[in-house]
Amino acid sequence: MKVANIVHLAVGGAVLLLTGLASASPFDKKEALQNISFHVTSPNKAVGNTVRILPAGLQIDNSPIEMDIQGIVTGAEVADLNADQSPEIYIYLLEPGAENRMSLLAFSANKKKSLSGIYLSDLGDTKVNHKGYCGSDQLAVAGRKFLRRFPLCDKNKQPTGRLRQLQYKLKAGEAGWLLKLEKAKTVPG
């Protein structure tokens, strides 16, 4: 995966600084758990990228989900964080920009019948957890938890040598699922 050069564009007299991702290798991965499978594909184009999730084994709706995305797909894993015998698919996206910021696209199999979205709140929603954030996230499933780790930086965006680790638990929300922050800690990097 290559990071594209920084490009300066003049638009209506203003200069915009854009940092983007060059195209990466297409993403193609199959994951399965509890007799439900997910086939995740993306062309991983620098502009106009999409992701496609094709479930199989659901009792009611195995329709593919196709979405436009910002960035490229870097990974996918399947888990059952809430131990309800209906798995989830977690798809990791590297967003365009110099910060190497990661985002999450995730879906849960509802009682093995159909898929609904899983929401992960933005770091900016909690000032204390956003303080010192300068990108380079790592997202992962660990046991029955979802983890987000990132190096902490000072006000000049220089690494401090410490990491913040956020631990989430999957909970039912009003109209879907959410990854609820359970614990935050700062550790040596």
What tens-digit pLDDT sequence spans the chain (189 residues)? 333 332 322 233 222 333 456 668 999 999 999 999 999 999 999 899 999 999 999 999 999 999 999 999 999 999 999 999 999 999 999 999 888 999 999 999 999 999 999 999 887 667 778 888 898 999 999 999 999 999 999 999 899 999 999 999 999 988 889 999 999 999 887
Residue 17 confidence (pLDDT): 31
Q: Are 102 and 137 in contact (CB under 8 A)?
A: yes
Neighbours of 125 (CB within 10 A): 9
Residue 12 confidence (pLDDT): 31
Residue 170 confidence (pLDDT): 97
Neighbours of 139 (CB within 10 A): 22
Residue 8 confidence (pLDDT): 28
Strand 159-172 and strand 145-153: the pairing is antiparallel
Residue 1 confidence (pLDDT): 35
DSSP per-residue codes, 153-179: E-TTS-EEEEEEEEEEEEEE-SSSEEE
